[in-house]
């Protein structure tokens, strides 16, 4: 595809397509970060970051779907509350998040700083937690598999010696 030619051979990197500990954990930090950012084109940014950082591309994009029309309001309101807390401001009592031009033009100008600060903090926090949890759980799973194989080998060895 000519439209993707600027990516060169990056799309041929197996890390962006295979499920490996490093590519999956990087996909979580990328996908959860962009999921938390109130921005059109979250999936495009997640895909570009996944390609650049050699994270699992499909998983990075799919994680952006956590923020969808049903969940955007609560997610972005939580991000706004976190941002106001960090900035030492008070939350607006009657603030509602809407996906409309009217809301963007009239309300976003008043809340953009706490909203985006909170979004970045929440996105990085969720991503970092997921990154480390995946690394630890994946490693524990591999250790368990090694122990099971070791038991099987020892049992075979004992049976051969009989």
CB 79 within 8 A of CB 118: yes
Predicted local distance difference test score (pLDDT) of residue 120: 97
CB 39 within 8 A of CB 67: no
Question: Which distant-in-sequence residues (6+ apart) come within 8 Å of 120 by Cβ?
Answer: 36, 37
Distance separating alpha carbons of residues 42 and 50, to the nearest angstrom:
12
Distance separating alpha carbons of residues 141 and 162, to the nearest angstrom:
32
Predicted local distance difference test score (pLDDT) of residue 107: 74
Predicted local distance difference test score (pLDDT) of residue 4: 53
Residue-by-residue pLDDT tens, the chain, 162 positions: 555 555 566 666 777 888 899 999 999 999 999 999 998 889 999 999 999 999 999 999 999 999 998 998 899 989 999 999 999 988 776 677 666 777 767 777 778 899 999 999 999 999 999 999 999 999 999 999 999 999 999 888 888 886
């Amino acid at each position: 595809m000519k439209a993707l030619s600027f990516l060169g051979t990056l799309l041929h990197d197996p890390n962006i397509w295979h499920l490996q500990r490093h590519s999956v954990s990087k996909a979580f930090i990328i996908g959860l970060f962009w999921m938390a950012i109130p921005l059109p084109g979250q999936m495009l940014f997640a895909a570009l970051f996944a390609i650049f950082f050699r994270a699992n591309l499909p998983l990075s994009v799919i994680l952006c779907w956590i923020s969808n029309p049903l969940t955007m309001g609560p997610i972005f309101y939580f991000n706004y509350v976190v941002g106001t807390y960090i900035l030492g401001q008070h939350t607006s009592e009657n603030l509602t998040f809407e996906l409309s031009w009217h809301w963007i033009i009239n309300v976003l100008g008043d809340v953009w700083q706490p909203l985006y600060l909170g979004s970045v903090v929440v996105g990085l926090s969720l991503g970092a937690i997921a990154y480390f949890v995946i690394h630890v759980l994946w490693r524990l799973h591999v250790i368990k598999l090694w122990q099971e194989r070791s038991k099987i080998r020892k049992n075979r060895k004992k049976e051969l010696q009989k």
